[in-house]
Amino acid sequence: MEIEDDSRATTYTTLAAGPDFRHELEIRRSRFITVLRRSPDEETARALVADLRREFHDARHHCSAFVIGPDRMIQRSSDDGEPSGTAGIPMLEALIKRETTPGVTDLSDVSAVVVRYFGGILLGAGGLVRAYSESVSSALEVAPLVQRRRLRLCAIDVAHADAGRLENDLRSAGYVMAETGYEARHARLRIALRDEAGAISEAHARLASLTAGTAGLIPLGTEWIDVPL
């Protein structure tokens, strides 16, 4: 659980947890193998490049781009020997301009590497830009994505006899409930709220109404969770 998180974003889109995602295109006899990895930090992103250099050791280029963080503050790219600006930047733009829902570009914590096997036909600068951009974009079209959502966790301490009823009432009101713990003096319910002032105020008011003002929210911190798109 992350107790503090100073990012402004409370949601973003990323790859679903799991193995690296692969997609391949052939463009004018050159093979473009795109590999996507969920990368919460630069170390994970750079490890993808190293892994693929070993696997595809005979390939001419291993171009890369990644964007990291809820606010997408970390953005890097590499042309890896292709003419300057023809590979890494188009790949990065494909990541940061990807619309995850209409009008929303919030993809992050994703690294992309395009391994190129030269097919003997020169593509020219414009052709390379299109090829690398299309390679990443087409991979993202079919890659499994999820929404990453920051929730604020709170505890509610109530008498044992009231815990079941209150939990059912909160679930019926649409709140996300975690496990309930039973301690010697009381039961402790856990509730997950959107990390927004309005959601917290609304929960305070609902809880006061359900308990006649006898129970309150005890802050526990924040946690990022995956939610299906």
* pLDDT tens digits, 141-191: 999 999 999 999 999 999 999 999 999 999 998 888 878 888 888 999 999
pLDDT tens figures, 65-95: 999 999 999 999 999 999 999 999 999 999 9
Neighbouring C-beta atoms of residue 8, cutoff 10 Å: 7
Q: How confident is the model at residue 47 (pLDDT cuts 50, 70, 90)?
A: very high
Q: Where are the domains of the chain?
A: 17-143, 150-228
- Asked if residue 4 has pLDDT above 70, the reply is no
Selection from 143, 129, 110, 117 nearest residue 44 by Cα: 110
Which one, of 89, 78, 77, 87, lies nearest residue 125 by Cα? 87
Structural contact between residues 92 and 72, judged by C-beta atoms closer than 8 angstroms: no
CATH class of 150-228: alpha beta
Query: What does the pLDDT average to over 116-126?
Result: 93
DSSP code of 20? P
From CA 12, how far away is CA 28, in angstroms rounded?
36
H/E stretch holding 89? helix 88-96
Sign of CA dihedral 112, 118, 119, 121: positive
- The pTM assigned to this predicted structure is 0.82
* CATH code 1.10.1200.10 for 17-143: no
Q: In the chain, count of helices (H) and strands (E)?
A: 5, 11
Task: Give Rg (Cα) of the chain.
Answer: 23
